[in-house]
Amino acid sequence: MLAARRTFLMVGLGLALLVPAGCSKPAGPRRPGAEWLKSIEVEGNQEFKDKTLVTGLGLRRTQQAGRAPDPYLVSVDEDRIRGEYLRRGFLAVDVRSRVERKGDATTVIYSVDEGVRATTKVEIVGLPKSDPTLPLAKVRETLPLADGAPFDYEVYELAKEPLKAVVENAGYAHVARDAKVIADRANHTAIIRLDYTPGPKSTFGAVAVTGVKGDLREAVENRLQFEPGQQFSTAAITATQRKLYGLNRFSTVLVQPETSGAANPVVAMKVDVSQGSRHEIKLGGGFGIDPSSYEVRGRAGYSIAGWPYSLDTFSVDLRPAYALLRDGSDYEPRIRALAKLERQDILWTYSKGEVEAGFTYVAYEAYTSYGPRGRLGLSSPIIGEKLLLRVGWGIQQYDFRNFHPLIDEALQMQIGIDRTERVGAYDQAIVLDLRNHPIEPTFGVYAELRVAEGTKYAGSEYEYLQVAPEVRGYVPVPLNGIVLAGRLRTGAIFGELAPTERLFGGGASSQRGFSERKLAPSAIGEVDGSTRSIPYGGGAIIEAGIEARIPLTTLKEMPLGMVTFLDGADVTESYDQLDPMNLHWATGLGFRLKTIVGAVRADVGYRLNRTGLMEPDPGSRFAFHLSLGEAF
């Protein structure tokens, strides 16, 4: 279903692009001799393009309807164009209109004399000079218009609320701010005057919480970012709202200071929350292609918040599928079923506990695995919101069937799929996230270290240690919004290697010169007269990648960008076989369309080396990937 929606979206965008922006002749039938608006033109404009000025004019609807221009509407649109210039600081702009007729066709022409663009001058009065926490420079830097810079009303308008908030954050809960722009046309200057009446410096007072009770009320109180006696700050109020919405329990959260009436230096607070719907049902389906099969998928999910207790969430997720193996040999049912119970604040505020139980039956390239799995987990931030710790214990038991012809009995014994597998492990992860955005970062660093210990004390038949560090970095280039992004990830399993713990590379979020999972130790041979490569995974991996994310244009207000990338990776049987100087390299090109469901991504990778017969996926040069979200 999701794939079908994406296809429909892209087709719709393509058809929309075929519709002309304006009409060159009247729409529908027209009586002979009836006047109609042929075009709208602008002359003398240098700062704005014709399209910018004409788009949004009332005459556009007249033009599209094939009617004659209304003189009143011509005058109104003249004021609209003048207003556009005034907002950009052209205080002496002159706009005049005229109408030219040729037969029944009419052209409306706007002549623009832009004049000189005004520069900015800022005047700030009324701030308390004796408060070291509120220097004049702190307020001034909140307005991103330097003295002497070209004036821009939109920038000024967007800064008006922050200009008040910066004073409120210094403790002045009752501050009044009068902001206005004075046009000095003689000196081509736009004077921004900010007149503050700060009132008394304030502190937070008593806090009243309404709309919730019991454990959930306690969770709300523990997430308050202010307390009585603390200096008043709107930043603390905003942070509290964000924390409360993060509980995923409330449809509305109102955190309001009681500042009406007299300017009391002690500000009482009211926190009012409304609980959202407890029940959620998800139904869906679609069609997918992976390296081993064509697959018809379904999905059914149900979750209930506040069960069995107020801080718990119970969910069930069922994902059945039916797959045709790509070699045409067989049909395979597939199923992933998972039940999960989550509890917020299980040990302390912001800590989260999880209990999972599931069953999978999935066909891979080399075999089909099936069996139950379970997991206990705990996660918690340990330094603010930037450093996260996760620990857990998982156990699984799988059997194997439907082996590919290239996976003979000797290889089955070698990789351990000739018998039932039981793996139990303790796992830990520490995550440092210093990115400016978790989904579409343009600056910052992300680092993660994952460790897992398979041991008999965890119920495992395999004894091993798995270590997997990763680091990502993002740097903006001061050129048209370009962002350079890089990633380095490696991992290794030391000790015994369980079949389902084997590592694979390749795919949309890995080495993009390979299809999903195709970069791995593989069984290579002839099947039915053709050479086949069947990956079964390895014990060590290294991945490196760098890409330039380049904005291009917009399609129906959705940003469209291009990516050029270079990926290097390898997967080997053991860590000592990894050679960073001899990786599989691929370069490529991609496009990103940022939609309401995320960035729709299309990448094409081209392998630069190591395509010989004994390499993974031999002879293959190109790989195409269509997915959602950035590669890393």
CATH number, domain with residue 164: 3.10.20.310
Q: Residue 106: is its pLDDT beyond 90? A: yes
Task: Look at residue 323 and tell me if it is in a domain.
Answer: no
**Is 26 strand, coil or helix?**
coil
Cα–Cα distance, 18 to 226 (Å, whole number)? 55
What is residue 85's three-state secondary structure?
A: helix
Edge to edge, what strands does the sheet with 203-210 contain? 203-210, 266-275, 250-257
Same domain, 485 and 615: yes
Domain membership flag for residue 569: yes
Among 150, 165, 197, the domain-final residue is 197
Whose tokens are 């949309």? That residue is 508
Residue 328: what pLDDT?
61
Mean pLDDT of 565-587: 96
Q: Which residue has the higher pLDDT, 405 or 29?
A: 405
Distance (Å, whole) CA 452 – CA 500: 14
Estimate the crossing angle of helix 234-245 against helix 153-168, to 10 degrees.
Answer: 100
312 domain residue, yes or no = no
What would the pLDDT profile of 457-473 be if each residue is shown by its tens digit?
999 999 999 999 999 99
What confidence category does residue 399 fall into, taking pLDDT thresholds of 50, 70 and 90? very high
Quick check: 459 and 395 in contact, CB under 8 A?
A: yes
- Domain end position, chosen among 113, 130, 155: 113
For residues 122 and 597, the model is more confident at: 122
CA distance 251 to 275: 6
Same domain? For 38 and 163 the reply is no
> In which band, very low, low, confident or very high, does the pLDDT at 348 lie, cut at 50, 70 and 90?
very high
CATH code assigned at 430: 2.40.160.50
- The amino acid present at 304, given as its one-letter code, is I
Is 329 part of any domain?
no
Cβ–Cβ under 8 Å, residues 534 and 407: yes
Q: Evaluate whether residue 325 is within a structural domain.
A: no
- Structural contact between residues 184 and 203, judged by C-beta atoms closer than 8 angstroms: no
- Determine the structural domain holding residue 59 and report its residue range: 2-113
Q: Among 165, 197, 229, give the residue marking a domain's end.
A: 197
**β-pair partners for 117:** none
pLDDT of 259 above 90? no
Sequence letter at residue 438:
P
Flag whether pLDDT at 82 surpasses 60. Answer: yes
- Answer yes or no: do 124 and 82 share one domain: no
The label of the residue with tokens 């209930």 reads 304
Q: Which of 271, 269, 266, 174 is nearest to 229 (CA)?
A: 266
Q: Is the pLDDT of residue 518 over 50?
A: yes
Q: Which two three-digit tokens encode residue 419?
A: 């018998």
Measured between alpha carbons, how far is 164 from 365 in angstroms, rounded to an integer? 61
**pLDDT attached to residue 325:** 62
Same domain, 461 and 567: yes
Q: Is the pLDDT of residue 549 over 50?
A: yes
Largest CA distance in the chain: 94
Residue 164, CA atoms < 13 Å, CB-side half-sphere: 13
Contacts of 384 (CB under 8 A, 6+ apart): none
Q: Are 445 and 506 within one domain? A: yes
Q: Are residues 8 and 100 in the same domain?
A: yes
How much is the pTM? 0.78
Quick one: pLDDT band at residue 8, thresholds 50, 70, 90? very low
Percent of the chain exceeding pLDDT 90 equals 69
Same-domain check for residues 213 and 91: no
- What does residue 382 show for φ and ψ, rounded to 5 degrees? -120, -20
DSSP letter (8 states) at residue 118: P
Residue 151: pLDDT band (50, 70, 90) is very high
Rounded to the nearest integer, the mean pLDDT of the chain is: 89
Provide the pLDDT confidence category of residue 21 given band limits of 50, 70 and 90. Answer: very low
Confidence of residue 116 (pLDDT cuts 50, 70, 90): very high
Same domain, 148 and 223: no
Q: Which pLDDT band holds residue 29 (cuts at 50, 70, 90)?
A: low
Quick one: pLDDT band at residue 421, thresholds 50, 70, 90? very high
Instruction: Tell me how far apart the alpha carbons of residues 632 and 387 are, in angstroms, rounded to a whole number.
Output: 19
Whether 584 contacts 568, CB under 8 Å: yes
Percent of the chain clearing pLDDT 70 (strictly above)? 93
Terminal C-alpha separation, the chain: 25
Structural domain count of the chain: 4
Q: Please compute the mean of the pLDDT values over residues 552-561 and round it to a whole number.
A: 89
Are residues 500 and 593 both part of a single domain?
A: yes
Q: What is the mean pLDDT of residues 282-289?
A: 78
Q: Residues 26, 163: one domain?
A: no
In a domain, 378, yes or no: no
Query: Which of 332, 311, 312, 336 lies closest to 322, judged by CA?
Result: 332
The pLDDT score that the predictor gives to residue 326 is 62
User: Residue 494's pLDDT is what?
Assistant: 96
What pLDDT is recorded for position 13? Answer: 34
Q: Which residues of 115-154 are buried (b: 16+ CB within 10 A; e: fewer)?
A: eebbbbbbeeeebeeeeeebeeeebbeebebeeeebbbbe
Provide the pairing of β-strand 119-125 with 189-197.
Answer: parallel
What CA–CA distances, in Å, run from 425 to 46, 375, 457, 475, 555? 68, 10, 8, 37, 48
Element (H, E) at 80: helix 71-87
Residues 587 and 519 in one domain: yes
Confidence of residue 290 (pLDDT cuts 50, 70, 90): low
Q: Is residue 439 part of a domain?
A: yes
Q: In whole angstroms, what is the distance from residue 244 CA to residue 239 CA?
A: 9
Residue 482 lies in a domain: yes
- Burial-class residue 166 by CB neighbours within 10 Å (0-12, 13-18, 19+): buried
Q: How far is CA 145 from the centre of its chain?
A: 30
pLDDT reported for residue 288: 66
The token pair that represents 235 in the structure block: 């930043």
Q: Measured between alpha carbons, how far is 435 from 197 in angstroms, rounded to an integer? A: 37
Q: Which residue has the higher pLDDT, 330 or 414?
A: 414
Calculate Rg over the CA atoms of the chain: 32
Of 138, 141, 145, 99, the residue nearest 118 (C-alpha): 145
Domain check: are 69 and 149 in the same one?
no
The count of other CB atoms within 10 Å of the CB of residue 453 is 18
Whether the CB-CB separation of 471 and 487 falls below 8 Å is answered with: yes
Mean predicted confidence (pLDDT) in 399-410: 92
Closest CA to 42 of 6, 93, 2, 91: 93
**Which pLDDT belongs to residue 31?**
65
Give which of 187, 5, 6, 92 is closest to 626, Cα–Cα.
6
Which amino acid appears at position 434 of this protein?
L
* Paired residues of 387 in beta bridges: 383, 432
- CB neighbourhood size of 519 (10 A): 31
